[in-house]
Amino acid sequence: MMSLTKHHGLGNDFLVRVVVDQAGDDGDGEDGEDGEDGEDDGEYEDLARRLCNRRTGVGADGLLVAAIGDDSIVMTLYNADGTRAEMSGNGIRCLAHAVARHRGDLEPQRIVTDAGERMVTLEETDDPDCVLAAVDMGEIVDLDEPDGWSTLGVHPGRPVAHLGLGNPHAVVGVDDVGAVDLESLGARVPHLNLEIVEPGPGEDAIRMRVHERGAGITAACGTGAVASAAAARRWGFVAPSVTDVTVHMDGGDATVVLDEPTPGRAMLIGPSTFVAAIEVTAT
C-alpha cells in the first residue's frame, strides 16, 4: 500500500506522496530510484494516469512527489496525463502543506523543482485543514513565440505575452473570459499553458481562466496567475504602480506580488487545503 494525501489550491487539486530521500538533495537514487521506496519516473507516470483519472481513479490535476532530504525538499510533478512538468504554483503550496503535516511544523521550506529552487513560507488560518502559503516564484522571463501559435488565429490587435516561470505560458488579453471557447483553443496548443485575461474589477485586479498543459481546463493555476499579472501590468490592464495584483480564477482568488523580492521576480500568495489521507495499491 502507498500513503498519499489530497490537497487543493483554489480547486487545482493534487495527490501528494511524501518520501524520505535516502539519496541526498538531488532526489535521485541509484538506478533511477526516487526516495525510500524506489519508484522511478515510469512508475510514477503510470500512477499519475491511474489515480488522477476522475472517473476511474481518485481524481486530481496532478501527482506530486516530495523527497525530503537533509536540508531541502525535492518536488517532482506529474500531470494527470502522466507527463512531467517543471513547476506549479498551486502544486508547490500543496506539497509544502503535505510536508508540513508530515513533519508537524510550519517552518519555511526550501524546495528544489525542475524549474529551480523555490522558498515557501506557511501560515495557519482559522481552518485547521487550510494554510496560507507564500511562494517565491522566481524570475519571469520572455519567451519566443511557440510552435503552433498561429493555429489559434489570435486577432493581431489583441495583447499577447509569451512568458516563462520555469514552464511556458501564453497569455492573451480578452474582453470577456467567459465568452471564449477555451477548451478548443487549448487543445490546439497542448504543449502550452494558455491563459485568457480580462481587466478588473478595479485597477489592481484581473480575471483569468486557464487551459493547462497535461491537465486541460483547471480551476486555478499559480504560475499562470503570475504570468497573467505580469502581462496585465505590461498591457495596462492594471495600473502601472500596482505591485499586488488580485487574480480572480474559477476556483478563487490568489495574490501576485510583482517585483518581489527583487525586480523581475514575483511572490504568489494563496491557500492550500487538506482534503483527505488515502491508501492506494502501488501497482
Are 102 and 150 in a shared domain?
no
Per residue in 143-177, pLDDT tens? 999 998 998 988 989 999 999 999 999 999 999 99
- CATH code, domain carrying 213: 3.10.310.10
Are 80 and 117 in a shared domain?
yes
DSSP code of 38? T
Are 119 and 185 in a shared domain?
no
Per residue in 71-118, pLDDT tens? 889 999 999 999 999 999 999 999 999 999 999 999 999 999 999 999
Q: pTM of the full predicted structure? A: 0.90
Q: CB–CB of 36/117 below 8 Å?
A: no
Rounded mean pLDDT of 22-44?
A: 53
Are 184 and 106 in a shared domain?
no
Angle, helices 222-235 vs 89-103, to 10°: value is 140
Are 128 and 156 in a shared domain?
no
Number of domains in the chain: 2
Q: Which residues of 133-144 are buried (b: 16+ CB within 10 A; e: fewer)?
A: bbbbbbebeeee
Are 58 and 153 in a shared domain?
no
**Identity of the amino acid at 135:** V
Provide the phi-psi class of 32: left if phi over 0, else alpha when psi is between -120 and 50, else beta.
left
Are 56 and 120 in a shared domain?
yes
Per residue in 162-220, pLDDT tens? 999 999 999 999 999 999 999 999 999 999 999 999 999 989 999 999 999 999 999 99
pLDDT for the residue numbered 149: 93
Are 108 and 194 in a shared domain?
no
Range of the domain at 154: 141-268
Q: Give the number of other CB atoms < 10 A from CB of residue 72.
A: 18
Rounded mean pLDDT of 224-246?
A: 96
CB contact set of 82 (below 8 Å; sequence gap of 6+): 45, 46, 48, 49
Are 145 and 264 in a shared domain?
yes
